[in-house]
Structure 1
Amino acid sequence: MASHYPSSNHTRLQVQSNQCLRDRLVQIDIQIVLLEEERRVVEKKLQSLTYPVLSLPFEVTSKIFVHCLPNALHPEPIFKSSRQELSTPLLLSQICQTWRSVASRTKNLWGRLHISLDEWSRDPTRASGRFVHWIERAGPSVSFVLHGSNCSFTPTSSAILLPIVAQSGRWRDLTLSLPYKDLITENFQSSIHQRLPLLETSR
């Protein structure tokens, strides 16, 4: 009758195989320890690196950022047609933590709002959030450029124009390129009447 017990050779091979696996685990553990130590060394070196551009005074970096803006006569739209395409202030804010801090405190960087009401109407939730983000960082006076061609809503009652009109006390320069006849109605005029203390130019 054949024996059902494993042969001594088979047992020996199995023990050797198990030992090889254990030895391999030990080797892997050693490699992990060495790699973690190497990582700590590399991270320490990276932290010790200094970039000259990040050591500039706030005022200097702030002025450089403002010079990155397009010509004042052709301000950059705060809403771009592509979600991946960011306006200059937002792009500068995403480079690093230092630049984000400088950009958020540079009020002139956010002082020109070129707004397409057509773009706003395509994605009102996103646009409203972008507008709030922008206007909170702007200074006490703001330049507005508003344009659009969509006549499907009434500006005086639209949720799109309401937050813009609410900022009329901060308008310094205002450029309107809108087909809405409502803009010259009594309702619209009364919504901004005597609420333009800083307005210098309007077109």
Structure 2
Amino acid sequence: MFKKSLMGMTCAAVCGFAGQALAQTPVGTDYKRIDVMRDASNWAFGVNLAAADVNSIDNNVFSFGVFGNYFTAPNFSLGLTLDYWNDSFSEDARRVEVDDLVIGGHGKFMFTEFTSGLRPFVLAGLAVHRFQVDVANRDPNADPLVDKFNEYDRNTEDVEGELGADFGAGVMYRVQTSMDMLAEVRYRRILDRTVDLDQVNYSIALSYVL
């Protein structure tokens, strides 16, 4: 339910940005002046909230994170993200808790020749996922747990990061000269195909430009 709600909020945000921009922009206005172009030296920092649809997990997953973008050109930026989600569910009558800490980097291309302060964008990059799994009521005398999450057991010393590839698209709306609102859909593919933990994130974010 939460994931569907946030997906709806994301769509509503995009439509709301467009409607507000069109309603407030006088006829004949210089759009480029309103949609202030970012200097190549600008840094932008922000926070995001997301609903993550994670393969192999049936529950809705709530995710939150922070990010930073450096504009190398008015229509291109390089960015870093730090995201986290946690979820609990039952697997073969056992309670399983899964965490994912994600550190990623990406390039983002914005379509600046657009009207009324709206900027669609696409992005691509790489991310490292630090999965950890805890299984309740584990018998310490039993054989190691054998399931699809075994390699991420936080009770062992062999928990390692998984490399993933990110692809996404969204829209940014200029609220003020130094503040943007964003709605984004991002697909995060885990390159190790021995475990199915690919993700689709639906996020809304607020960004402040220094």
TM-score range with shorter-chain normalisation? under 0.3
> Which protein has the bigger helix share?
1
TM-score (norm 2): 0.25
> Max radius of gyration: which structure?
1
TM-score (normalised: structure 1): 0.25
